Structures are given as structure tokens and as C-alpha cells.
Structure 1
Amino acid sequence: AALAALGATLTLPGLAGFVLAIGMAVDANVLVFERAREEYAAHHRPTPRSALAAGFRNALSAIADSNITTLIAAGLLFLLASGPVRGFGVTLGIGVLASMVSALVITRALADLAVSRPGLRRRPHLTGIAHTGVVRDRLARGNPRLMRHPRRWLAASAAALVLAGAGIALRGLDFGIEFTGGRQVEYATATPVDPDRARAALADAGFPHAVVQTSGENRLTVRTGQLTTAQANAVGAAVGDLTSRADELRDETIGPSLGKELRRGALIALAVALGAQLVYLAVRFRLLLGTAAVAALAHDVVILVGVFAWLGKPVDGVFLAALLTVIGYSVNDSVVVFDRLRELTRHADKERETRFRDIAGRALQQTLPRTVNTGTGAALILTALAGFGGDSLTDFALALLIGLAVGTYSSMFTATPLAVVLQERRR
């Protein structure tokens, strides 16, 4: 409704903004319910209703920080970038505001109504709040000291960075049409043409990286790299074989200068957004934790680009949308861990002088169930999207799956160990 009111066009990067906003809304609910479980299990709250109220209260700071950092990035992308990156910023901003209302107002009202029912008061296990969950139980029994050797985690991250950098240096990046320029041809067809069939036909004709979109009723738009006259005729013949008649309506050449401008604007907007997030995190937490979070984010970007270089996948608008989504997920995860770290540090026993690495390990252990729950749900959706979404969404889902795995790992085992090492070096 907001997009319709603004007259905006929903593109694939815009869809990526919705994916991230929906993920953050789900994440906010998981944060609340995990905190409610903790309160009930610790016997601080005798009923599911009081535990739920405490969960909303204690999770509010983490939800607010993660959403505000994302809103800062979305606003700067809208102001400084252009094209699909700006569309990502618009839909992400709208989605984040809507998700905050749904998670903090609508979900709370519905959940409070549910736990107030007499049947659930007598049988609290039906709410899910009265048991701590499989992951939390196993962590409590095993009690792993996750930050016992923080430098080993950083060594693993450094090895992944070296491998990704080698892929970029040795294989290079295959920039898509959006960044290099090319040819755009629009056809009017006698019957509707399925874009997936058109992509397959063009791939068989020797154009595997062609971008195919429907642009209206019985309209098909094909974007490729620079074409000779013979290649342009081959594209027209491949489209013509899919329908009884295909008339060429428009044939335009996209200059590389537009791609360079888009790439430069995206990089500038991304750099400014990272700087703004660093400033906000430094104010809300400490400069040390903000630096660790942004460093983990840069780690995710390099690894995702390196994996696509090794796989030979094109770096195009689809990849750019996935990259921006991964950045949002990564910062969100780091904020959740650091919010718990800040809370535990505030309540640490000053006389015992508990070590920072022990507090960080406990914060990581307490937030791990939330990370597993949200990560598993997102992985199931993205796996289905990669398997059944068609050619246009396969690379998008693949990039998100890789980014989800790397971002989840880095928020726990890159950002947190880096914060521990920086803190001990400073001391």
C-alpha cells in the first residue's frame, strides 16, 4: 500500500528489501519469545503472561538498535544511490517501519490475548514459553566456553578472507549488464511468453547471461551485452521461435558510462552507510564493539564476492540486491549479541572482576538459540526459493544462502572474538 501511494515500482532489489524487513520482523518476535523463555525458566516470572511482558521489555533495546541501524542504511541508500539500490532503500525503510509496528504492537496484543486464556494459564507448556527449547538445554548441559580461544576463531575468518581474495584476484569478477552496458530489445509477441522459457531458449542460442523480463501484456524485454548484427538477429530468432509472431518495438544501446555511474553511486552510498552505522553503534555501545561489528560486516562482503568469483556467477543487479540484504542481516545479528553483552557487563559483579572474554562467551551462548531459530527458518525459505524460484531467482537465493551462513558465523565468531581481542589489547 505504501509503494502504491508513493507510485514506486517493485523491482527485484525492492523485493530484497521486503525479504530483509520480513526477516527482521520474524527476528524481533523470536527475540521476545526467547527472552520470555529465559524469564520463565529462571523462575523470575511465575506465569507465561508475566514472562511475556518481561520478554517484550528486555528485548526492546536489541530490537530498536537493529532496526535503527537498518533505517540509517536505508535512508542513506535512498539519498545517495540511484537505480535499483535506491529502490532497495525505499522498500527496506517502509518494511522496517511496518515490521516494528507489527512486532511491538500487533504481535504483543495477540500474544497477550493468547496467554490470557484460562486453558493456557492452567497448561503453560502449550504456549512454548514454559520450556527452554532443545538448543538452550544442550548448551546448558554442555556449557561450552565459546570464547576460550578467540584468536582461533579469528584465524578461521582470516583463512576464509584469504581464500575469497584469491578468487577475486585469480578468477576476477564477471560484471553484469547493469555495470558494463549492453543492448536492450523489446518485443511485442502474439501470445504471452514465459520468461523462464525465453531465458532457456536464449541460453541455448549462446546468450546465457541475458536478462529477460515481461514489460506488459504480450511484451518481452531482453537485455544482453554488446551485440553484433548477426547476434541481434539470433536473439530475435530465439524469441520468435517461442510464439507465432514477435515484432521488435525498441532497440537501445546501454552505454557503459551509466553502469559506471551506478557502480560508483552504490559504492559511495554503501561506504557512507557503513560509516553512519559505525557512529551509531559506537554511541549506543562503545567504539570497540561498533568497530568489531562493522569489521565483521566487511568480512561478509568480501567472502560473498569471493564465492561468486570462484563460482563464475555474474555480479549484477540480482547480486547487488542479495549483498545489501546480507549486510542488513549481518549487522542485525551482531547488534543482538552485543546488546546481550552490554546487559551482562552492566550486571557483572564488580568485586570479582569477571573477565571480558567470559562475559562475551556467556552472551554468545545465551543468544545462540535465537540465532539458530531465525537462521533455520530463513534457510528453509531460501532453499525452497533456490530450488523452485526459476532461473531469475536462483542466483539471488544462492547469494542469500551463502550470505546467511557467512553472516551468522561472523556475527558470532568474528565480531565477538574481535571485540574480545581488541578489549584485551587495549587493557
Structure 2
Amino acid sequence: MRSKRTFDFVKTSRRFLIISAIITLLGIVIVSISGLNYGIDFSSGTSMDISTKKPVTEEKLRAFLDEQKIGEYTLTTAENRDSIRFKEALNENQEKDFKAAFSAQIDPDASYEINIVDVDIAREQQQSALIGMAIACLGIVIYVSIRFEWRFAISAVVSLIYSAFFVITMFSIFRLEVNLPFILAVLTIIGYAINDTVVIFDRIRENLRFAKIKTAADLDALVNKSVWQTLSRSINTVITVLIASVCLFIFGSESIKLFSLAMIFGLVAGAYSSIFIASQLWLYLKKRQPIKKVAVKPQSTP
């Protein structure tokens, strides 16, 4: 009996893998040329959040900041709360002078949240973030290798790298700030992506136990069947988390907007890579293994 499903994931996999490779190559070029817009977590500088008792216009605040001549800055304004990011790390005297001037010219009742990161701390946090991501990937390789086999592990890691690098590329294109919440978002994305991938791999392994694989076409049919059997679960999981991330991005505070945006990019990329990269790459590696022929015993003649 023919299946009513018309979309063939395996048949179209070559097209999607080529598209994924092109996106990755473009991402490498973009990140190499433009780099990343590091926040003060990964570059020296000063983050200053100011809460005021009365509203302050952006024009007035920019004029005040220009008068201080502290250096390059970025300003994000909200109702009674303004976020300023100075590219330079302020010393103790500069910090005191700034507070005194702000109290005299803008609001004497203002409160301040100041975070100063010097070059050494920024470099240390960069290294810690990279080590954390490397340990996470290594742990996934070990886990998938033990639970499944090395082909599953390689396919899973390639899929995860694609998802994470897609988010990095999007942040590079739109010059969005890369900070510690961004790293947390990437690690969370890796968790969701490996969950989707393991669900598909588990179904592939289960179907392999009862399938009689005689040709490459049988393997194609098995992967298609496994993806279809897990597709609704993967889509429902992604949509549920995606709705929450979109709501956080729209209604959340400024401090979690970039985290939410990274989650949105990563959830889409993770769902895509689990279906069109991980499972198809495993199929490619599996086909390189000789298919074991099942020996047929000759029937005895009476």
C-alpha cells in the first residue's frame, strides 16, 4: 500500500545539504569580514544602567553624554531607565565625576547599576565561554556514541555546529551584541537541537532492529519513515518554545531581548538541521558500510 505522504526527505536531501553548505560558507565569509559585535562581557568597557525618578528625553541624555567626553558609547532608552555602554573601562574618578554631573544636570535621585570589565577579565570570559561550548559538544559526542554509534555522533555534532553557527552568522549580519546571555542561548539551543536529533535517531535505530535492509533504497525508505514518525513531535516542541521566545522578545525587558532573539534563530535552525542534516548525513555514512546480505538456507527436497 502506497503512503499518502508525498514529500521525500531523502530524495531532496542533496538540495538541502547544498543550501546548508552555501549558508555556512557565506556565514564564514561574513563573520571573517565583519566579525562579531562583542558586548562588554567579551571586550573591555563599562555598562551603566540608570534608573531615574523623572522621564528624560533621548536628545537631552545624548547631549549630556557628549559633554562628558568619555568616549564612544551606545545608548538604549526606556521609560525611566536608560542603558549606556561605554567602550572604555571607566576608572574610579571618572565614575564619580559622571555620577556627580548626572545628579547635577539630569536627576539628583537617579540610581545606578555599573559593571566595569577590563581587558583581562574580558579575555578570560571569552576563553571560558569557548571552553564551555567545547565541553558541551564533547559531552554530546560521548553520550551519542555510547547510546548509539559513531555515525550518529558525527551527524549530531555537524548538525549542532550548523545550528550554533547559523545564530552566530545572524548576529554578525545584524551587528547584534554578543554577550554572556548570548552564550547561554547558544548552549540552550544546542540542548533543544540534540533533543530533536536524538528523537529521530532513536526512531531510526528502533526501525533498524525490525527492518530487513537489502538495498540502499531500503535505507532511504527507513529514514523517510523515521522522520515522518517523529515530525509532528519535533514541530510541536519547536512551536511551543518558539511562541514563548517570541513573547519574551516582544514583551520582555531589554536585558533578555537578545537572548530571546538568539533562541528564535536557533530553534528554527535546530529543527531544520535535525531533519535535513543530521538524519541525512547519517544515511550517507551508513550507505558507505557494506550491506550485510541475509543468508538464505536452501530448502531440502523430500
TM-score of the superposed pair, with normalisation by structure 2: 0.78
How many Å apart are 1:369 and its aligned residue? Answer: 0.5
List runs of 5+ in structure 2 lacking aligned partners: 67-72, 291-302
List runs of 5+ in structure 1 lacking aligned partners: 1-139, 213-218
* Conserved? CA contact 2:192–2:270, under 8 Å: yes
SS in 2 for 1:413: helix
Please, which of 129, 137, 162 is the counterpart of residue 299 of structure 1? Answer: 162
Check if 1:226 corresponds to 2:102: no
Q: Distance in 1 between the 2:157 and 2:276 partners?
A: 14
TM-score of the superposed pair, with normalisation by structure 1: 0.57
Check if 1:258 corresponds to 2:117: no
Between the aligned residues of both structures, percent identity stands at 27
The CA deviation string for residues 70-92 of structure 1, in whole angstroms up to 9 with x for no partner, is xxxxxxxxxxxxxxxxxxxxxxx
* Conserved? CA contact 1:239–1:246, under 8 Å: yes
How many Å apart are 1:160 and its aligned residue? Answer: 1.4
Residues 209 and 299 of structure 1: CA distance in aligned 2, closer, same or farther (over 3 Å):
farther
Moved more, 355-364 or 407-416: 355-364
**Matched residue, 1:181:** 44
Check if 1:410 corresponds to 2:276: no
How many Å apart are 1:151 and its aligned residue? Answer: 2.0
* Conserved? CA contact 1:202–1:210, under 8 Å: no
Q: Distance in 2 between the 1:278 and 1:198 partners?
A: 52
CA RMSD of aligned residues (A): 3.7
Q: How do 1:320-331 and structure 2 match up within 5 A?
A: 320-331=183-194
**Matched residue, 2:237:** 374
How many Å apart are 1:223 and its aligned residue? Answer: 5.8
Check if 1:144 corresponds to 2:144: no
Please, which of 178, 181, 187 is the counterpart of residue 318 of structure 1? Answer: 181
Q: Distance in 1 between the 2:59 and 2:154 partners?
A: 45
**Matched residue, 2:295:** none
* Conserved? CA contact 2:75–2:84, under 8 Å: no
Q: One-letter code of the match for 2:253?
A: G
* Conserved? CA contact 1:184–1:224, under 8 Å: yes
Structure with the greater alpha carbon radius of gyration: 2
Q: Distance in 2 between the 1:145 and 1:334 partners?
A: 18
**Matched residue, 2:203:** 340
Q: How do 1:27-426 and structure 2 match up within 5 A?
A: 141-183=4-46, 205=65, 207-208=73-74, 224-226=86-88, 243-246=107-110, 253-349=116-212, 355-426=218-289
Q: Which has the higher helix share?
A: 1
Residues 235 and 415 of structure 1: CA distance in aligned 2, closer, same or farther (over 3 Å):
farther
SS in 2 for 1:164: helix
Q: Distance in 2 between the 1:348 and 1:370 partners?
A: 23
SS in 2 for 1:362: helix
SS in 2 for 1:141: coil
SS in 2 for 1:142: coil
Residues 164 and 378 of structure 1: CA distance in aligned 2, closer, same or farther (over 3 Å):
same
How many Å apart are 1:200 and its aligned residue? Answer: 10
Q: Distance in 1 between the 2:116 and 2:281 partners?
A: 48
Q: Distance in 2 between the 1:338 and 1:417 partners?
A: 11
How many Å apart are 1:158 and its aligned residue? Answer: 0.5
Q: One-letter code of the match for 2:229?
A: Q
Residues 221 and 413 of structure 1: CA distance in aligned 2, closer, same or farther (over 3 Å):
closer
Q: Distance in 2 between the 1:331 and 1:395 partners?
A: 22
